[in-house]
Each structure stands twice: as C-alpha cells, then as structure tokens.
Structure 1
Amino acid sequence: MAQDIFERLKQDHDKHRELIDAIKQTSGDSDDRKSLFTQFKTDAMAHAAAEEETLYVAMMADTEIRQDAQHSVKEHAELGMLFVEIDEMDMGSSAWLNKFNKLAEEYTHHIDEEEEEKFPKAREELGEDKAVALTAEFEQRKPEEIQRVKDKADVPEIKKAIEEEEGA
C-alpha cells in the first residue's frame, strides 16, 4: 500500500526531533550548531508550508476538521516567528539557547499534538485515497518551499507580523 500523508509527515517530524536533539548537543557559535540549526529551520519551515498547502487545505474544506487545521496553521505562524527571531540572534549567547529551547519545546508539543490528535481525526475524515493522493502533492510542494525558505521569501511578512505583535 502507498504511503499516506500522515506517515510522510511523521517521517519529517522524526527527522526534526533528531535535529533538535543534535542541536542541544552543540555549544556556542559552532559550525555544527549553525549547520544543524539551518537544516532544522529550512526543513521545518518548508514542511509547515507544504503541509498547509496540501493537508490543511483539504482539512479546511471539511467542517468536521476545519478547526484543527486552523489551530495548526496558527501554531505554524508562531513557530515561524520564533525561527526568524532565533536566526537573527547571536548563536553563542544564552539568549539564543533559551529561545531555541522554547522553540524546541513548542515545536515538539505541536508535532506531538498533530500526530496524537489531529492526524487520526483527519485520516478518518478524509479517507485513505485522499490521504495517499495528498502525499504526492506534498512531495511536489516541499522542494519549492525549501527554496523559498533558502531565499528568505517569507521573512519580510514574518518580521512585519512580529513587529505588529510587539506593538499590540
């Protein structure tokens, strides 16, 4: 049987958990920390965007699971802001480590919640055929989103949102 979107997304989540653990083993402004954080940020942000454009679009169209998708999209925005803030900090500072630990905790909570609550409900609601079809869409979108992250295409909008939140 073909892989469904939920299995595919969990593969990324497992990779992200490994990257978080690896980053926590680094110290200071090291090349390892820079490389691992860049990998994590790039893949996690691209994953979130591709997930929104495939799975969450399908979930938004279904009134039974629309709120789950809206909740997750909101969390993606909050995580995106943390990534941008951390990216601009001195990696060797305790402030960077504190902010990274906050991101790691919130990100892990988010993906655990998706896997334990949102995905089972969405799998049941969307059905197997749709779940398998969404995998192909995700695989097509993700490389495009990786390039957008590398190009920092969304950073101006994220910075604007951060400024608006701070001014509120």
Structure 2
Amino acid sequence: MKIFEALRQDHEKQRLLLKILAETSGDTAARREYYQELKDQLESHAVAEERHFYSPLLKKDEAVDLTRHGIAEHHEIDELIEKLDETKMDSPGWLRHLKSLQEKVEHHLADEEQEFFQVAGRLLNDSQKSKLADAYQEEMAKELAPH
C-alpha cells in the first residue's frame, strides 16, 4: 500500500463519521460515541499525517507551501473541535459548530486529495510511498490504541 491509499482510507472514515454525526440530535449516547470516535480519528490522523507525510515533504521546495497550508488547516480543525467540546451537545450551537467542522474537514481532505497528493506523487518514489504508508499506519494504530 502507498501513503495515498492509507490516507484516503482514513479520510473516508472521517467523512462517514461527520455525515453520521450531522444526522444526530440531542445529547445522546450515540452522538457522544460518534463524536469521540471522530475526535480520536481526526487527532490521531493529524499527528500521524504530519509525521509521516508532511514532515518528509517539508524538505522539498515544491511542497513547502502545501505542507504549511495543511498544518494550518489541522490547527483550524483543532480549534473547531475545542468549540464543540465547550458547547453543550443538546444546544443548537453544537450542530452549527459541527457543520463548520464538517465543511473545514471536507475542504482539507479535498485539498489534499486533489492537489497535494499529485505534487507528493511526483516528489516521492515508490519505495518512499510504501514506507511512509507503513509508518503512517503504525502510528495510527499506536495513536488509536486505548491508553
């Protein structure tokens, strides 16, 4: 597996969790469970992606701006998660914040998949793409393991 497939698999999980959450209402066990899973996915993904995708690409002039942009978007996503954490789940504001998070995450994933992956595909060789995928998946497993 190459790094792009590994990242896309997690992107699909994130999209699905956001879609499911957007259809929930109130402070329910299901909403809390899906939200915790989404938070875990997003936070783990950002750590693993920055270490095993962005970091190697920061060394390449052609990818510096895209890498910095991706890291900045991770920070914006973290801030939206903080807003959600500070808002009561059964308030109308929670769903508004979730919609903002959904828009930001979907924009970020589209940027990566439609632009960044193409640039990275030219800058990394096949061996690097496979090694980065292995390292990324290992990091994700470690990040998502119960503490």
Give TM-score scaled by structure 1 length.
0.83
The answer to whether the aligner puts 1:116 opposite 2:94 as a matched pair is no
Q: Which amino acid counterpart does residue 70 of structure 2 have in structure 1?
A: S
**Which residue of 1 is the match for residue 43 of structure 2?**
45
Alignment of 1:151-162 (within 5 A): none
**Which residue of 1 is the match for residue 93 of structure 2?**
95
**Which residue of 2 is the match for residue 163 of structure 1?**
none
The answer to whether the aligner puts 1:24 opposite 2:25 as a matched pair is no
Q: Which amino acid counterpart does residue 40 of structure 2 have in structure 1?
A: T
Q: Which amino acid counterpart does residue 126 of structure 1 have in structure 2?
A: L
Structure 2 residue ranges without an equivalent (≥5): none
CA deviation vs aligned residue, 1:125-151 (integer Å, no higher than 9, x gap): 11221111101111221233335xx77
**Which residue of 2 is the match for residue 7 of structure 1?**
5
Structure 1 residue ranges without an equivalent (≥5): 152-168
Structure with more relative contact order (C-alpha pairs < 8 Å, separation 6 or more): 2
Distance in 1, matches of 2:130 and 2:75, equals 26
Distance in 2, matches of 1:107 and 1:47, equals 12
**Which residue of 1 is the match for residue 54 of structure 2?**
56
Among candidates 75, 88, 91, match of residue 77 of structure 1: 75
- Percent of aligned positions that are identical: 31
Distance in 1, matches of 2:122 and 2:8, equals 17
Distance in 1, matches of 2:97 and 2:83, equals 8
Distance in 2, matches of 1:125 and 1:132, equals 14
Count of residue correspondences: 147
RMSD over aligned CA atoms reads: 1.3
Deviation above 4 Å: which 4+ runs of structure 1? none
Distance in 1, matches of 2:118 and 2:29, equals 39
